[in-house]
Amino acid sequence: MSEKMSTSTRDRLVVAVAELMRTQGYSAITVKQITAAAGAPMGSLYHHFPHGKVQIAAEALRSTGAAYIQLLPLLMDPHEDLRTAVPAAFDEAARTLEESGWMNMCPVGTVAGEIADSEPALRGAAAEVARDWIDRGTAYFVGRGLGEPAARELILAILCALEGAFILGRTLRSTEPLHAAGRAMAARVDALLAGSEPSLPRDRGAPADY
Amino acid sequence: MSEKMSTSTRDRLVVAVAELMRTQGYSAITVKQITAAAGAPMGSLYHHFPHGKVQIAAEALRSTGAAYIQLLPLLMDPHEDLRTAVPAAFDEAARTLEESGWMNMCPVGTVAGEIADSEPALRGAAAEVARDWIDRGTAYFVGRGLGEPAARELILAILCALEGAFILGRTLRSTEPLHAAGRAMAARVDALLAGSEPSLPRDRGAPADY
């Protein structure tokens, strides 16, 4: 394939790991699978990534994470009202999930869940991605008229709902969790737009570590 | 430990796999780790579980899943108003998560996310657990006064929000996602109690497979 030939070995290794993480998680991946999928010799893997699999995986999480958050404006910009934009994005995700045969649309959440207690470097990379999602999502919703605390509140709720709905939807082979999560987020938008929240963020967790 | 000595080898194998799945997911577990953690000889593992690791893991998902959904009434019964019960349960989960040092509180969601495309038998076991959660959760919220469609809608939204918030919280080492998810679910309860939903469940996914 011409696309494959035009990309660098380094890039092909990252793409190979991202795709393997999608279908089998992190731990099941072998270095042999990576080099076979990337069409790269073993030596080139350790040349580009001296720390091996974990280093490629960290970069794959960063690059797929960056691509993933770009879907936010892409899916929501067409809808003038935030009340329709948010559930519409969940419905679109449900359609894509079903049409893809219940593919893992983004390995960041599943790999983060798998390795949060066992691979500190990879957890660090996933945390970077998650912080980036929260920051960009907050900025996006501020741009759509919410105050900063409400915007942060909304993107946090959406990311939780979406990651959980992907897992339940793939497990059940059903779009129902994504639709239900989307309707729940519509209710969240309503309440935030009504400004009826008591004192929004009660805390921000453990700031020292965060 | 006397508790260990009084339980059967079979039970110890299941508990060992459940605990190993918590900290390192499914794929990283070796048969050697299982027998060491359970204090059981290799032969007894294949005696009790002819299909090996995948069969023990399926049983571990079922038993931890059954224990997990019992937390629902336990956490919510003390609160008379559903509007306070739901966010209080998320706040309680946040406290437990932080106090445990960001432990994976339930391996069902993380393992399901890891293996949904690669281990059909294990995905089937996770789907059984998820369907059980949805059925029991629906019954619980019907008992708390919601109509059946609204009750199902609420437990689906809660399960998505909770699974996603656990992943984000463990990744970020922060309780913020759980608190934000809990506040979002409070807004969902408000809307469902107000009965202002248009036509609730638009569909139930792909019933043939489900």
CB neighbour burial string for B21-44, b if at least 16 within 10 angstroms, e if fewer = bbebbbbbbeeeebbebbebeeeb
**Which residue in chain B has the smallest CA separation from A102?**
B117
Tokens 């920051």 label which residue? A135
Count interface pairs A-B at CB distance under 8 A.
260
- Residue-wise pLDDT for A31-69, tens only, equals 999 999 999 999 999 999 999 999 999 999 999 999 999
The percent of residues above 90 in pLDDT, for chain B, comes to 88
Looking at residue B198, its pLDDT comes to 53
CB neighbour burial string for A65-87, b if at least 16 within 10 angstroms, e if fewer = beebbeebeebbeeeeebeebbb
Q: How confident is the model at residue B195 (pLDDT cuts 50, 70, 90)?
A: confident
More confident residue, A157 or B203: A157
- Residue-wise pLDDT for A110-135, tens only, equals 999 999 999 999 999 999 999 999 99
For the entire predicted model, the pTM comes to 0.92
Looking at residue B1, its pLDDT comes to 42
The whole-angstrom distance between A154's CA and the closest CA on chain B is 8
Looking at residue B204, its pLDDT comes to 46
- Residue-wise pLDDT for B148-158, tens only, equals 999 999 999 99
**Which residues in A lie closer than 8 A to residue B161 (C-beta atoms)?**
157, 160-161, 164, 181, 184
**Which residue in chain B has the smallest CA separation from A202?**
B179
Let me know: does A22 contact B117? Beta carbons within 8 Å.
yes
* Average pLDDT along chain A: 92
DSSP B126: H
The whole-angstrom distance between B5's CA and the closest CA on chain A is 28
Q: What is the greatest pairwise CA distance in chain A?
A: 59
The Cα–Cα gap between A57 and A54 comes to 5
**Which residues in A lie closer than 8 A to residue B149 (C-beta atoms)?**
none
Looking at residue B202, its pLDDT comes to 46
- Residue-wise pLDDT for A5-35, tens only, equals 558 999 999 999 999 999 999 999 999 999 9
**Which residue in chain B has the smallest CA separation from A95?**
B205
The Cα–Cα gap between B57 and B46 comes to 13
Give phi and psi for B192, each to the nearest 5: -70, -40
The percent of residues above 70 in pLDDT, for chain A, comes to 90
The whole-angstrom distance between B52's CA and the closest CA on chain A is 17
**Which residues in B lie closer than 8 A to residue A197 (C-beta atoms)?**
183
Predicted ipTM of the assembly: 0.92
Mutate: best of A172, A190, A199, partner B, most B CBs <10 A: A172
Of B122, B24, B22, B114, residue with least CA distance to A20: B114
The Cα–Cα gap between B107 and A40 comes to 35
Q: Residue B132 contacts by C-beta under 8 Å, 6 or more apart in sequence? A: B65, B66, B69
What single letter denotes the amino acid at residue B131? Answer: R
- Residue-wise pLDDT for B44-89, tens only, equals 999 999 999 999 999 999 999 999 999 999 999 999 999 999 999 9
**Which residue in chain B has the smallest CA separation from A177?**
B156
**Which residues in B lie closer than 8 A to residue A152 (C-beta atoms)?**
180
